Amino acid sequence: MSRYEAPLEDLNFIFEHLLDNERLVALPGFEDLSTELIGAILEEAGRFASGVLAPLNATGDREGVRWSDGEVATPEGFKEAYRQYVESGWNNVAVEKEYGGQGLPYAVSMAIGEIMMAANKSLVMCPGLTLGAIESLCAAASPEQKALYLPNLVSGRWSGTMNLTEPDAGSDVGALRCKAIEQADGSYRLHGQKIFISYGEHDLTENIVHLVLARTPDAPEGVKGISLFLVPKFLVNPDGSLGARNDVRCVSTEHKLGIHGSPTCVLAYGDREGATGYLVGEKNRGLQAMFVMMNMARLIVGLEGVALSERAYQQALDYARERIQGVDALSGEPVAIVRHPDVRRMLLSMKSQIEAMRALSLVIAQAQDLAQRHADPEVRRRNQAFVELLTPVFKAWATENGIRLTQLGVQIHGGMGFVEETGAAQHLRDAVIGVIYEGTTGIQAADLVGRKLARDGGAAFAALLRDMSDVAEELQRHRDLGDIGSGLAGGIASLRQAGEHILPLYRDDAQAALAVSVPFLMLAGTVAGAWQHGRGALAAARLIEARGEPGAFLKGKLVSARFYVAHVLVQALALAETVRCGAAPVAESADFLC
């Protein structure tokens, strides 16, 4: 079993130096907060994650879930760990106090999310999905629905799910066919099958509140005819007590490459009389309500890439420090493999990309807080645009990185990495789904190029480039950090060129733009990561100057930034070149591939 320790030093560094904490705690609702309190909360989260969740990660993977006659048993220990999780309130950190949550900033919730998912992604998917359901209900449900369902969802007594996918409607949500027929009492009867429903059935909570996309008989075709329904596993009486079992049934669970500890269910709605459901929000506007859930979920999935990479990194670092193999180049004495340069190259590749992703995740989360709470509408608008632009970038870039980095974790273990008992391979297996669910990398790239970039003519993108350039200039003026500054400036130039190419290209030939949309997205993520490293290097240099000596952590930040520039950011030029000239062969290939 591998240990896990929350990366508190890096998290605190980001909160103290890369986020604008003063501004954050000045927002309405956060008056009681302080940097010290945030640090204390994260420390406590780390303690819980290491002590309660992390030990169940490998055992949950090995045991998996067991389906039997419609019921699903989670692995040994999950039930008790979940109970402690919700009792401690980790499940509703960012939920408004008026709904029973802790009312903490998204930025804090994001940091806690990384910690908990690193410890046990399969388990915390359950409260994670519940959070999504809470968000959707807060945004779209009636006051009566909120009163009836939110308290138990927020307390964690019940859990929530999101039901979009059907066998013939995956990325193309508009193709879904699940039917909802209105009844005399205003409720609906649902009929249809949903697949890939995470925690669609399980034994952690008393009730499960399914949020289900379906069509009414008179609904228009496509995405404009989709409504959102609330379908509880057990019907809920007006006093909040549980009533009859609803006509929704888990038909089977999938045998998956990873996240074995979490059930992925096929749910049959209405095999008998029809599943009772309640319309949430307006008819035919279901996708909008679900999008609230999806945007948030995309950030969380991106965070999985960070979390799994961090867990893999800690395990690989421990192994590299312990495993004796080969001799020291100078002394000829046997050494731990961390002494071999290529092993350190792999470890730095993990560390530097994790730090870039982590910082970006929290910067986006802080922008989300500002977008929701800041008094100035212009500040809210600007931050909202920033979050929307970077959500697909972060989701796809961080999960793609997650696969590469967890695989490096396996590689550092050599042959032991391929043996399942070591546990390194689990992180890779768990990471692969990140680039698929909540919209594949291709879908994120299409969202970035086709919506986020196109709809405002690149205004939010231009603002991002300006913010980045400010940092590059400050670095270039700095006595010791000029190399990082010129690397970043080069990366920004590549990103700008690529953006200036793809924006008009999408207008003139959308297919051509989509053919190079993923390289463009990866370019944006890579440069955004370098931007965060640049900011981190400036802060580290300031602290070193103030303290007179670096210490391991701050030295590590500077080395990490330089490694990122030399080994990762260098790819920016290549990615921009692919955006510039890579679409033609993709178009020509239709002749023989289709």
Residue 518 binds to a second copy (criterion: CB under 8 A): yes
Rounded distance between C-alpha atoms, residue 461 and residue 452, angstroms: 9
Residue (20 or 172) nearer to a second copy, CB: 172
Residue 257 binds to a second copy (criterion: CB under 8 A): yes
Q: Site for a second copy (CB under 8 A): which residue of 53, 110, 208, 403? A: 403
DSSP state of 181: E
Residue (281 or 556) nearer to a second copy, CB: 556
Q: Exactly one of 166, 304, 310, 438 is catalytic; which is it?
A: 438
Q: Site for a second copy (CB under 8 A): which residue of 47, 345, 477, 542? A: 345
Residue (134 or 561) nearer to a second copy, CB: 561
Per CB under 8 A, contacts with a second copy among 35-74 are none
Cβ 192 to a second copy shortest distance, Å = 17
- Contact string (CB under 8 A) for a second copy, positions 423-462, x = contact: --x--xx--xx-xxx--xxx--xx----------------
Q: What is the token pair recorded at 548? A: 């007179």
Residue (51 or 174) nearer to a second copy, CB: 174
Cβ 249 to a second copy shortest distance, Å = 20
Residue 1 binds to a second copy (criterion: CB under 8 A): no
Per CB under 8 A, contacts with a second copy among 266-295 are none
Q: Is 163 helix (H, G, I), strand (E, B) or coil?
A: strand
Q: Report the amino acid identity of residue 200.
A: G
Residue 215 binds to a second copy (criterion: CB under 8 A): no
Q: What is the 3-state secondary structure (H, E, C) of 184-236?
A: CCCCEEEEEEEEEEECCCCCCCCEEEEEEEEECCCCCCHHHHCEEEEEECEEE
Residue 329 binds to a second copy (criterion: CB under 8 A): yes
The size of the interface with a second copy (CB under 8 A), counted in residues, is 99
Residue 348 binds to a second copy (criterion: CB under 8 A): yes
Q: Report the amino acid identity of residue 169.
A: A
Residue 172 binds to a second copy (criterion: CB under 8 A): yes
Residue 543 binds to a second copy (criterion: CB under 8 A): no
Residue 375 binds to a second copy (criterion: CB under 8 A): no
Cβ 421 to a second copy shortest distance, Å = 6
Cβ 150 to a second copy shortest distance, Å = 30
Q: What is the 3-state secondary structure (H, E, C) of 530-594?
A: HHHHHHHHHHHHHHHHHHCCCHHHHHHHHHHHHHHHHHHHCHHHHHHHHHHHCHHHHHHCHHHHC
User: Would you call 473 a catalytic residue per the annotation?
Assistant: no
Tell me how long the chain is: 594
Burial of 488 (0-12, 13-18, 19+ CB in 10 A): buried
Q: What is the token pair recorded at 243? A: 């009533």
- DSSP calls for 40-89: HHHHHHHHHIIIIITHHHHHHHHH--EEETTEEEPPTTHHHHHHHHHHTT
Q: Is 242 left (phi over 0), alpha (psi -120 to 50) or beta?
A: beta
From residue 587, alpha-carbon distances to 47, 414, 582 in Å are 53, 41, 10
From residue 344, alpha-carbon distances to 110, 324, 427, 563, 571 in Å are 29, 14, 20, 11, 20
Query: Comparing C-alpha atoms, which of 300, 296, 368 is closest to residue 136?
Result: 296
Residue 298 binds to a second copy (criterion: CB under 8 A): no
Per CB under 8 A, contacts with a second copy among 560-579 are 560, 562-563, 566-567, 570-575, 577-578
Rounded distance between C-alpha atoms, residue 424 and residue 407, angstroms: 8
Residue 486 binds to a second copy (criterion: CB under 8 A): no
Cβ 577 to a second copy shortest distance, Å = 5
Residue (207 or 253) nearer to a second copy, CB: 253
Per CB under 8 A, contacts with a second copy among 494-513 are 510-512
- Contact string (CB under 8 A) for a second copy, positions 180-199, x = contact: ---------------xx---
Residue 244 binds to a second copy (criterion: CB under 8 A): no
Which residue numbers are catalytic?
438
